[in-house]
Amino acid sequence: MTTSLYFLIGVIVALLVYAIVQALRLKKAVTNLTQEQFISGYRKAQLIDVREPKEFDAGHILGARNIPSSQLRQRYKEIRADKPAYLYCQSSARSARAAMFLKKKGYTELNQLQGGFKTWTGKIKTK
């Protein structure tokens, strides 16, 4: 029984360490911006919506390009590495993963909308 307990504690510790490492990597990869900060900078940058096309068509931030996270590995070169990128998804989870991927590919100025599109109160466009 004690072996099982030690194993369970080991698994929990490993998961905690993994979560901390991921959080630190994310913090290095992307800057979280409030809506006000996001608005003040995205017009001079590349605004990328990483949600799927149906979500994008239902409503997106005015001026955004849709490069779904499911297609990012094939399409990341459409995003210029020499200009800031402002990413968003529905809740910040996919945009965070997208930022980590882009960071590995050499992109440096990566920002994301804190809370994602679900918290957006600015202008939107629908199809």
Q: What is the 3-state secondary structure (H, E, C) of the chain?
A: CHHHHHHHHHHHHHHHHHHHHHHHHHHHHCEEECHHHHHHHHCCCEEEECCCHHHHHHCEECCCEECCHHHHHHHHHHCCCCCCEEEECCCCHHHHHHHHHHHHCCCCCEEEECCCHHHCCCCEECC
Using only the alpha carbons of the chain, give its radius of gyration.
Answer: 17
> pLDDT band at 25, cuts 50/70/90?
low
Judged by average pLDDT, the poorest of 19-28, 40-49, 85-94, 101-110 is: 19-28
- pTM of the full structure: 0.80
Which domains are assigned to the chain? Answer: 30-125 (3.40.250.10)
- The residue with greater pLDDT, 92 or 47, is 47
Which residue would you say has higher pLDDT here, 56 or 93?
56
**Higher confidence at residue 23 or residue 112?**
112
Q: Encoding tokens for residue 3?
A: 């072996």
pLDDT averaged over the chain?
90
